[in-house]
């Protein structure tokens, strides 16, 4: 047997398994499941409780699954909910150096114009107590509930973690799946 026919045989052998796993995934996506939303870190314009409620609402607005997203209350580390998404927000430093500022007081300028901040966002999804995937992205946001950049980055990361959670290898063996794009950072 040549290499091409071996590869073809492997793909054909994996197809029934992939189709079966994919149908299970679509059933799980359409199952009304309560998923807890945990938030770590801070975003300008939100308290921790407000941010958790906001992220839950943005996840529901993405309409990727039939799941119900509920903000997590105080969670004991020893007994976390089996179905959860853990979000981590980290404000990144500005990339600029020292600049002489001439204008109104910075506090007044921030009140009038807002200040955009770079933020790193990552999320981990756990289903039935098992880790599934992690996705991350970066955005420049002003903060608050009316920030379109924050809403967009939450929906992008949500789309990626859900897609990647269902693209993971099942315990029964590998399956064919395309991973959703995840932003990676490379250093030169």
Where do the domains of the chain lie, and which CATH numbers do they carry? 33-165 (3.30.160)
Q: What is the pLDDT of residues 64-95, one digit of tens each?
A: 888 889 998 766 566 888 999 999 999 888 65
Q: What is the mean pLDDT of residues 21-49?
A: 78
Q: How confident is the model at residue 26 (pLDDT cuts 50, 70, 90)?
A: low
Residue 111 has pLDDT above 90, yes or no: no
Predicted local distance difference test score (pLDDT) of residue 53: 93
Cα separation, 19 vs 11, in Å, equals: 12
Share above pLDDT 70 across residues of the chain, in percent, rounded to a whole number: 60
Highest mean pLDDT among 77-81, 97-101, 183-187: 77-81
Residue pair 153/121 in contact by the 8 Å Cβ criterion:
yes
**Residue 57: pLDDT above 90?**
yes
Is the pLDDT confidence value at 151 over 80? yes
Strand 117-127 and strand 130-141: the pairing is antiparallel
Q: For residue 176, is pLDDT > 90?
A: no
Global pTM reads 0.68
């Amino acid at each position: 047997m040549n290499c091409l026919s071996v590869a073809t045989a492997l793909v054909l052998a994996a197809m029934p398994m992939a189709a079966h796993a994919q149908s299970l995934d679509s059933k799980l996506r359409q199952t009304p499941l309560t998923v807890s939303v945990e938030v770590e870190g801070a975003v300008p314009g939100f308290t921790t409780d407000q941010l958790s409620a906001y992220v839950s609402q943005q996840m529901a607005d993405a309409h990727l699954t039939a799941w119900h997203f509920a903000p997590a209350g105080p969670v004991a580390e020893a007994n976390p909910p089996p179905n959860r998404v853990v979000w981590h927000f980290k404000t990144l430093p500005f990339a600029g150096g020292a600049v002489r500022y001439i204008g109104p007081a910075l506090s007044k300028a921030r009140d009038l114009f807002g200040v955009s901040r770079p933020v790193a966002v990552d999320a981990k999804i756990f289903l039935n107590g098992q880790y599934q995937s992690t996705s991350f992205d970066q955005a420049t946001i002003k903060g608050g509930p009316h920030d379109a950049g924050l809403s967009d980055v939450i929906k992008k990361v949500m789309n990626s973690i859900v897609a990647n959670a269902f693209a993971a290898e099942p315990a029964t063996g590998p399956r064919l799946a395309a991973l959703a794009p995840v932003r990676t950072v490379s250093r030169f």
